[in-house]
Structure 1
Amino acid sequence: MPSADATTCPHCGWPDGGEPFRVLSRHTTATGHTEWTRCGCGSLQVRVADGRGTRVVSRSGPAPGPAPAQADTAIRCRR
Structure 2
Amino acid sequence: MPILVTLDVMLARRKMSLSTLAETVGITLANLSILKSGKAKAVRFSTLAAICQALDCQPADLLEHRPSPTDLAKSNDQSTGSLK
**Bucket of the pairwise TM-score, normalised by the shorter protein:** under 0.3
From the two aligned structures, give the one with the greater helix fraction: 2
Q: Which has the larger radius of gyration?
A: 2
Normalized per residue, the structure richer in strand is 1
Give me the TM-score of the superposition, normalised by structure 2.
Answer: 0.23
Larger relative contact order, structure 1 or 2 (CA cutoff 8 Å, min sep 6) = 2
